[in-house]
Amino acid sequence: MARQIELSFIVQPRFEGRCLRDFLRESGVSATLIKAVKNETGGFWVGDGPARTCDPVHAGQMVTFVLPPEPPTSVKAEPIPLSIAYESPHVMVLEKPAGMAVHPTLNYKEGTLANAYMGLLQQRGESGVFRPVNRIDKDTSGLVLCAKNVWAASLLAKSVRKEYLAVVEGRVSGSGVIDQPIGRAPDSIILRRVTPEGKPSRTEYAAEQAGKLHTLVRAVPITGRTHQIRVHFSYIGHPLAGDDLYGGSRELIGRQALHCAAITFEDPVSHKPVRVESELPKDMQALLSNCEKDLKNL
């Protein structure tokens, strides 16, 4: 039997006399979720009794409700080893290795991060749905932030910030911003390019280590376009090592040298900032140590 998830909130003084609906919406409970709670889990309780969403609430009262059951999922549970970088009652941050797709697709029906997540829930005797807040390419490694329930998902999406480490070709120094629109390349459903017809895209970066042939940069995508970091660095003449889709060479590494190295977000319950970090994977470490003997800290 699926475990019920009960949420409780204390009404703050600023909500004194306001309707329950307003309090719930500002606590991250969407209109869709409010409707589902009413129809599926017995509605909302304020103090010791049931309450309508139009009823006023008062400072210090406890508002309680049960989340609706998770919808069915077609993702198969598989016993794949899973590295958990962080976990709390509503959040899980996973370490995805390079070469693993996040979701099942026509080309990758099994062996994905979603399959591994469902396998973990099965092992724990729990039910749920795989809800990644950020997604990374199959050949990109690093952190994936997951919401354990529908309430946490929207709150995490609003606060998440991702930092990537990338090894780019050529020497890059200092810090900068790449502010160029990105759109689809003609006659391709995969390839992206910088184009005036594209969507606004902004990447902030800072060089961390530089050698003769490569530079380790920390990149923060302010927008979230497909292949954004890969396209932007290719555009300024510094494609990612291994990224042959955008002009990089695979001579020294067999995939794009890109790693989601840090994720920050606001905890849904405490509202305190949380930062989770991940070490540079071995193939990117080897690329730097073996091929750039003269690395210098910038």
Q: How far apart are the first and last CA of the chain?
A: 56
Alpha-carbon distances, residue 245 vs 69, 175, 188, 273, 297 (angstroms): 42, 25, 12, 36, 29
CB 190 within 8 A of CB 161: no
Distance between CA atoms of residues 170 and 176, nearest Å: 16
Catalytic residue among 137, 244, 267, 283: 137
User: CB-based burial of residue 45 (10 Å sphere; 0-12 exposed, 13-18 middle, 19+ buried)?
Assistant: middle
167, 216 contact by CB (below 8 A) = yes
Neighbours of 216 (CB within 10 A): 23
Residue 91: phi and psi, rounded to 5, are: -135, 145
Give the Cα separation of 27 and 129 in Å (integer). 22
Contact (CB, 8 A) for 113 and 162? no
Query: Does the annotation mark 137 as catalytic?
Result: yes
**Catalytic positions, please?**
137
